[in-house]
Amino acid sequence: MADRSTARIALELEGEKRLLVKADADIEAGWTRLRNQQVLLSSLQAAGDNTREAERLVHLMEQTLVEWRRHRALIEQRIAHLEREVLL
C-alpha cells in the first residue's frame, strides 16, 4: 500500500515539475512580449501619437506577469510539499 502511495506522489511530483518548467517558459516569453510592447509604446510617444491603449496593454501585461509569478510560487510550494511527503 505504501508503495502505491509513494508511486502516486512521485507521479504528482513529476507533473508539478513539468508545470514549473512550463511556468518558467511562459514567464520568460511574457517578459519578451512586455519588452516589445514597451518599445512600441516608446515609439508611439516619440511620434506624439495617442498612447492610451498601448499604456493600458503594458499595465495589463505587467499584472499578468505578477499573477504568473504567484502561480509559479504555488507550484514551487506544491513541489516542496510533495518532496517532504516522499521523505516521510
Total-model pTM: 0.88
Nearest residue to 30 via CA among 3, 65, 5 = 65
Domain with residue 62: its CATH number is: 1.10.287
Domain count, the chain: 1
Give the cell for residue 85: 511527503
Q: What is the pLDDT along the chain (88 residues), one digit of tens a residue?
A: 456 689 999 999 999 999 999 999 999 999 999 999 999 999 999 999 999 999 999 999 999 999 999 999 999 999 999 999 988 7
CA distance 73 to 8: 22
Residue 80 half-sphere exposure, CB side, CA atoms within 13 Å? 6
- C-alpha closest to that of 71 among 87, 40, 2, 63: 63
Q: Are 65 and 34 in contact (CB under 8 A)?
A: yes
**Boundaries of domain holding 26:** 2-87
What pLDDT, on a 0 to 100 scale, did the predictor assign at position 86? 86
